[in-house]
Amino acid sequence: LAKTTQPISMDSYEGQEVNITCSHNNIATNDYITWYQQFPSQGPRFIIQGYKTKVTNEVASLFIPADRKSSTLSLPRVSLSDTAVYYCLVGDQGGGNKLTFGTGTQLKVEL
Amino acid sequence: DVKVTQSSRYLVKRTGEKVFLECVQDMDHENMFWYRQDPGLGLRLIYFSYDVKMKEKGDIPEGYSVSREKKERFSLILESASTNQTSMYLCASSSIVGIAEAFFGQGTRLTVV
């Protein structure tokens, strides 16, 4: 499984765009990149997944460069409610994907 | 809506007891997972199952075992609970079809005294 590296913590203010970068230098050809969000006292929840280039949904955008050795989760105009831990995962889809989470990035949004 | 239900939200057990944590999912998912979460250590995978009666060790299987006799149910067993197993335990499930999004239960906070 490809190992991921992401910042331990980030701070931001309401209304700003936040970009969290994840490094995954040994990503395999079949691997997808998936991001999860976890609030205190809750289980993680899926945010977005991509394979290459750019993916956007109602919550976030995911930017993946051509070499796929890193990815950036972009949260537009964050609010206090976006304060959470964000996890970057890399792995192939389907059965056998062990979903290894790591320690994630603690995002703190202030007024 | 996918639902993953863990049998207890809070549990207090004594050292040496055999402890069962139950997890049930209602979406016919093939994959099921057990994690523990401790401050500063993130989520660590204990065991993973990709089919009935099939299991694979995760990163920290020592002191734990699992059982999956039915597709919808995945049990985590602490054979002889110890204080260092005090933690938040999270169960998850995912399909092997599509984007393999994992759905989590609400967690069980286990305290071993």
Q: What is the pLDDT of residue A34?
A: 92
- Beta strand B54-57 with B42-51 is antiparallel
Q: How far apart are CA A81 and CA A14, in angstroms?
A: 9
State pLDDT tens for residues A73-101: 999 999 999 999 999 998 876 555 678 88
Sort strands B103-104 and A45-50 into parallel, antiparallel or unpaired: unpaired
All residues at 6 or more sequence positions from B70 whose CB lies less than 8 Å from its CB, including other chains: B52
Q: Count how many residues are written for chain B.
A: 113
d(CA B21, CA B91): 9
**Per-residue pLDDT tens digits for B29-73:** 999 999 999 988 889 999 999 999 999 999 999 999 999 999 999
Q: List, as ranges, residues 58-97 from A with C-beta within 8 Å of B.
A: 85, 87, 93-97
Residue type, position B94, single letter: S
Question: How many beta-carbon pairs under 8 angstroms link A with B?
Answer: 72
